[in-house]
Amino acid sequence: MADSTHGPLPVYLSFSTFRSAVQNLRAHGLPTKLDRSAWGSRSGAEQGQIISALKFMGLIDPEGTTQESLRRLTAVPEDSPEEKRLLAELLRSRYQKVFELDLASATPKQLTDVIGDYGVTGATKDRSVRFFVRAAQYCGIPISPRLTARMKSRSAASDTEETTASDNSTPTKPNTRGRRRRKANGIQPQLVSPPSVDTTSSPMKTIQLPKVGGTLSVTGTFNPFNLVGEERALVYQIIDAMTEYEERSSISSAP
């Protein structure tokens, strides 16, 4: 959450979701004051992240009042040179600490450290870094190949980690003690082929709902490695929303 020291947190939702939220305002009209209900089809977590993003970018004020910068942004076509120019100006204005780096040669750690200076930590900081890199790429701002390469590797690693974690099982260490004992007694253990990995099994993510004393599980009957395009974005938006809820719950329940 934001604090009095750092103010609004830097944007930590996906860049595609940010652009989609702006496009929604183009398509349905720009109110003089924005609240979560402007994006009624999205989850509560995403709605909150969108509002937070607009505040950090200076597109709305702390009370949600629409600013001139947002009116200019929604007045230009999506994917147009004008949109990219306006977004680049916003990035330079709102991420002044980041632009003090030489982004054309910066290392991933340098960028991560500077983003952290805005008050984000852990997984939220990682998502904030990803947003900035994606946004800079889209706007044509020169950035180091180290940063873009890191984003590709982190995306692949994130996909694998989320798929592996979805079975809710706890890996155990192999029992080597018994194997050593059998060897000491002159008994050779039998070699057993490892079980094949079923990549078509249903992925699942479960979170605790302490207020109602239950859980929420989301599962799918698909191979997660086959996800592409809008379907992949949808699945990981749901996963991100559940993860954000878990993080907020753990913070609020901490002594």
Output the tens digit of pLDDT for each of the chain's 255 residues.
444 345 789 999 999 999 999 999 999 999 999 999 999 999 999 999 999 999 999 999 999 999 999 999 999 999 999 999 999 999 999 999 999 999 999 999 999 999 999 999 999 999 999 999 999 999 999 999 999 986 665 554 444 443 343 344 344 445 555 555 555 555 555 554 444 444 444 567 787 777 777 788 777 777 776 766 777 778 777 887 877 777 666 655 555
Last residue of a domain, one of 156, 188, 220: 156
Q: Examine residue 164 and state whether it is found in any structural domain, yes or no.
A: no
Is 229 inside any structural domain?
Answer: yes
- Within-domain flag for 185: no
Residues 147 and 219 in one domain: no
Do 69 and 142 sit in the same domain of this protein? yes
| Same domain (yes/no): 87, 210 | no
Cα-Cα-Cα-Cα torsion 116, 120, 123, 127, nearest 10 degrees, comes to -80
Find, among 55, 50, 64, 56, the residue nearest to 22 by Cα: 50
Domain boundary among 96, 128, 156: 156
User: Domain of 53?
Assistant: 15-156
For the chain, helix (H) and strand (E) counts, in that order, are 10, 2
What spatial distance separates the first Cα and last Cα of the chain, rounded to whole Å?
16
- Asked whether 135 and 171 are in contact (CB, 8 A), the reply is no
Radius of gyration, alpha carbons of the chain: 22
* Total domain count, the chain: 2
3-state secondary structure of 15: helix
| Dihedral over Cα of 51, 57, 60, 61: its sign | positive
Answer yes or no: do 28 and 147 share one domain.
yes
Q: Is residue 198 one of the residues assigned to a domain?
A: no
The reported pTM is: 0.61
Whether residue 224 is found in the same domain as residue 134: no
Distance (Å, rounded) from C-alpha 237 to C-alpha 111? 24
With H, G, I as helix, E, B as strand and everything else as coil, classify residue 218.
Answer: strand
